[in-house]
Amino acid sequence: MIESKIPEDWMRKNGYKLKILYSYAVVHKLNIKSETDVLAILKVTDPNNANEDSAKLFSKMLQLFAWRFRETIEKKLT
């Protein structure tokens, strides 16, 4: 569950998947803050792991990813 501590190696194991999920959300104009939308993305990109717990976790991680991505882009543009 999202309340539990995320393992240290989670990002290393799921970093590429996070990029794919984010790209899919952007292309299809889906809301990464919506667990329902993230679940729909998971059903398409990773059907074996598409469940509510994964959607909650990936939704939070996608929001963090988006924030860091925007921050990096802003730094490079200034």
Distance CA 3, CA 15 (A): 20
pLDDT at position 4 is: 59
For residue 6, which phi and psi values (nearest 5 degrees)? Answer: -80, 130
Let me know: does 59 contact 33? Beta carbons within 8 Å.
yes
User: What pLDDT sits at residue 78?
Assistant: 81
pLDDT tens-place values along the chain, 78 residues long: 444 577 788 889 999 999 999 999 999 999 999 999 999 999 999 999 999 999 999 999 999 989 988 888 888 888
What was the pLDDT predicted at 3? 46
How far is it, in rounded angstroms, from Cα 38 to Cα 55? Answer: 5
**61, 18 Cβ separation under 8 angstroms:** yes
Q: Where are the beta strands (DSSP E) in 1-78?
A: none
